[in-house]
Amino acid sequence: MARTKGTWGTVREVPRKGSGRYQASYIHGGVWGIQKGVRFTAPQTFESKGDAWAWIDRERRLIEKDEWTPPYERVLQERARAEAARQAAEAIPTIAAYGAQYAKRDDLSGNTRQRYAQLLTFYINGEPATMTRRGNIKGKTLVHHGIGDIKVTELTRAQVRDWWRGLPVKTREASSKQAYDLLRALMNAALEEELIDVNPVRIKDAASAKASRERDQDPLPFDILFRVADAMPAPWRLGVLLGGVLGLRSGEVRALQRRDFTLTGEVPLVKVYQSVKEDEGKLEIGPLKTARRGVSSRTVVIPAALVPDIKAHLRDHTQLGRTGLLFWRASDGKPVRSARWLKAFKKACNQVADELEAEAAKVTAKTGEPESDDSQRIRETLTAGGGYVFHGTRSTGLSWAYRVSGGNLKAVQDIGGLTSAKTLMGYQRNELSYRAEIANGSAARIGDN
């Protein structure tokens, strides 16, 4: 259909029988009487004449506003923008991919990378267990709603809430909390990279969950600590005392060498600057876990009562030479692995618990008196929840340091090599026996009045 008088542009029916569609075009450019203009045709056909004329009107307004470009060029530009948007969308990583990249950072220790990979696989991505172990059932998932396939930019608070509710918090509180903390950390990284505007990982219930079962373990009375040490293999006995009296970590204890001790001066000392690292089956001695945060070493004063035990160990069980290890494997002379150390420690704890129970039974048989609450509480501490872990001895040492120092947090922080007040407060124990001492002290004062 040719344009009518007073109109600009042309609309005609597509010259194909039965098409029922319309084509729009117009002439633009050129100089009247000198140079003909160029006809520009719409890059698509229209279902009705009205749609075709509307397109022509829009073209006319673009010309009047001096915003016009050839229609086909605009189509190409739009296609390019759409393709760029598609590629950008595809470039946005999923939580699984972004988390895997986050877990491989160079500033993480090997153990931390390995733990992050486990949390991502089974708790965040929701992949099925690959073996039956520690409550895992091969082929079954630990969570109800895995979120690994969601893009980082599309994760919502509602999805995070559903994911958290599907975690095994009641049976695996520590791992669930660690998975939540990891998800929040990697989404904070996405926030810093400006991939997202707000971190959606904000669950109040998760904030009250405990990230580590080890920190829940009460300190041991010193007499029980020494009994556990005596129940260990003789070459490892001192390790329990170093953890429970000096507050050393398991890796720090197993990395100690003969040269780290100074026992000849007025104040016996041990320098702690190395730790055993286990990364993907490899065993090596490296810097402390706190070295990246500015605490690369610390010197701990040794109580005089512990010096004879240390001297005896250096004489009878330590490797020869200044760099000789205090605790080592007879098979290859390398440090003791964490799993083997913990197995022996838990066995010693169970042995002491059995001894306490047997002693209580003898008292009951002789006097008729039931087992004391203290004895029952200690046995529960040694065996409940899968057994006492070696990190509990560190809790013992730092909790007693807090008591003896009169609550001097800075002193306890220096002794333990702690990098933050938040971590320090985890070792400020308020166990029942300490509260009992406080209560007895208060009662004595009341009696004096």
pLDDT tier at 394, thresholds 50, 70, 90:
confident
Domain count of the chain? 3
Residues 276 and 385 in one domain: yes
Do residue 277 and residue 416 come from a single domain?
A: yes
**Same domain flag for 267 and 395:** yes
Q: Report how far residue 190's alpha carbon sits from residue 146's, in angstroms, rounded to the nearest whole number.
A: 19
226 and 324 assigned to the same domain:
yes
Mean pLDDT of 99-115: 82
Sorting pLDDT into bands at 50, 70 and 90, what band is 144? Answer: confident
Q: Looking at the predicted structure, is the pLDDT value of residue 211 above 60?
A: no
| pLDDT value of position 5 | 46
- Structural domain includes residue 449: no
pLDDT of residue 442: 44
290 with 376, same domain: the answer is: yes
Residue 216 lies in a domain: no
What does the DSSP assignment read for 381-411?
Answer: HHHGGG---THHHHHHHHHHHHHHTTS-HHH
444 in a domain, yes or no? no
| 135 within some domain | yes
Asked whether residue 257 falls in the same domain as residue 402, the answer is yes
CA dihedral 143, 149, 153, 158 (to 10 degrees): -30
Residue 137 in this model has a pLDDT that exceeds 80 = no
- Going by pLDDT thresholds of 50, 70 and 90, the confidence category of residue 440 is low
Q: 393 CB contacts (<8 Å, ≥6 apart)?
A: 220, 225, 240, 243, 244
pLDDT at 431 over 60: no
Point out the domain boundary residue: 44, 68, 89.
Answer: 89
**Chain centroid, CA 103 distance in Å:** 9
Quote the pLDDT of residue 135: 55
DSSP string computed for 102-118: HTT-TTS-HHHHHHHHH
294 pLDDT more than 50: yes
For residues 299-318, average pLDDT: 94
Q: What is the pLDDT of residues 154-206, one digit of tens each?
A: 999 999 999 998 888 888 888 889 999 999 999 999 999 888 899 999 887 77
Cα 64 to its chain centre, rounded Å, is 60
We report the CATH number of the domain holding residue 99 as 1.10.150
Q: Which residues contact 256 (CB under 8 A, 6 or more apart)?
A: 242, 270, 272, 274, 325, 326, 327
Yes or no: say if 230 and 254 are a contact pair by the CB < 8 Å rule.
Answer: no
The residue with greater pLDDT, 201 or 89, is 201
- CATH code of the domain containing 260: 1.10.443.10
User: Does residue 343 form part of some domain?
Assistant: yes
pLDDT confidence bin for 112, thresholds 50/70/90: confident
Q: Last residue of a domain, which of 25, 60, 89?
A: 89
Asked if 196 contacts 153 with a C-beta cutoff of 8 angstroms, the reply is yes
Residues 238, 362 within the same domain: yes
E strand or H helix at 284: strand 282-287
**Amino acid, res. 157:** R
Most confident of 56-60, 110-114, 128-132: 56-60
What is the average pLDDT score of the chain? 84
pLDDT of residue 317: 95
The residue-averaged pLDDT of 290-300 equals 82
Residue 295 pLDDT exceeds 90 = no
**pLDDT for residue 446 is more than 70:** no
Q: What integer is the mean pLDDT of 259-283?
A: 88
The rounded distance, in Å, linking the Cα atoms of 248 and 273 is 11
Q: Does residue 65 form part of some domain? A: yes
Beta-carbon neighbour count of residue 442 at 10 Å? 10
* 154 and 244 housed in the same domain: no
Judged against a pLDDT cut of 60, whether residue 145 lies above it is answered with yes
What's the pLDDT score for residue 292? 74
Q: Are residues 227 and 101 in the same domain?
A: no
Residue 447 lies in a domain: no
Answer whether residue 422 shows pLDDT above 70: no
- Are 227 and 207 in a shared domain? no
Contact 395, 248 (CB under 8 A): no
Q: pLDDT at position 175, please?
A: 86
What pLDDT sits at residue 30? Answer: 75
Same domain (yes/no): 286, 413: yes
Does 445 fall in a domain? no
Residues 47 and 104 in one domain: no
- The per-residue pLDDT for 213 is 45
pLDDT tier, 79 (very low <50, low <70, confident <90, very high otherwise): confident
If you average pLDDT over residues 285-307, what whole number do you get? 86
Q: Flag whether pLDDT at 16 surpasses 90.
A: no
C-alpha span between 60 and 165 (Å, rounded): 58
Looking at 89, 105, 124, which one is the last position of a domain?
A: 89
Q: What percent of the chain has pLDDT over 90?
A: 44
Give tens-digit pLDDT for 318-372: 999 999 999 999 999 999 998 899 999 999 999 999 999 999 999 999 999 999 9
pLDDT tens across 37-63, in order? 899 999 999 999 999 999 999 999 999
Residue 207 has pLDDT above 70, yes or no: no
* Helix/strand/coil for 292: helix
**Would you say residue 280 has pLDDT above 80?**
no
* 390 pLDDT more than 80: yes
**Which residue range(s) make up the domain with 236?**
222-435
| Residue 287 CB contacts under 8 Å (≥ 6 apart), including other chains | 273, 274, 275, 296
pTM of the model: 0.63
